[in-house]
Amino acid sequence: MSAEMEVRQGIKISADEAVSLDPQQIAVLLPDASPQAEVEGQTFCTSIQCPYCGKSGRCDTDPVPGQYYRCINCGALFRT
């Protein structure tokens, strides 16, 4: 029932790129759930690791290359 979660590495972005982003382009990562904490109705999603602090979070949809994310731990912006 449980498969190993894939962890994708985020990519750092420049300060200029971060400033130019529209807030609607930025997805906020959710805390990683442990494999035992599966909740009914939730879909399995890839975990994404922040390139700044190394913490991982999950997204509510499959990550798209070039999508921007905000780290739930340090608040840094990065992309996949």
Average pLDDT for runs of 10 along the chain of length 80: 70 95 91 59 74 90 85 93
pLDDT at 1: 42
Report the pLDDT value the prediction gives residue 32, as an integer from 0 to 100: 77
Q: How high is the pLDDT of residue 40?
A: 55
**pLDDT for 48:** 92
Q: Is 1 inside a domain boundary?
A: no
The reply to whether 57 falls in a domain is yes
Q: Identify whether 14 is part of a domain.
A: yes
Is residue 62 in some structural domain? yes
Quote the CA–CA distance of 78 and 13 in Å, as a whole number.
Answer: 6
Specify the pTM. Answer: 0.77
Count of domains observed in the chain:
1
Whole-angstrom distance, CA of residue 42 vs CA of residue 24: 23
Kindly state whether residue 38 falls inside one of the protein's structural domains: no
Say if CB 17 and CB 68 are below 8 A apart: no
Is the CB of residue 36 less than 8 Å from the CB of residue 12?
no
Q: Which domain holds residue 60?
A: 7-33+43-79
Rounded distance between C-alpha atoms, residue 14 and residue 56, angstroms: 20
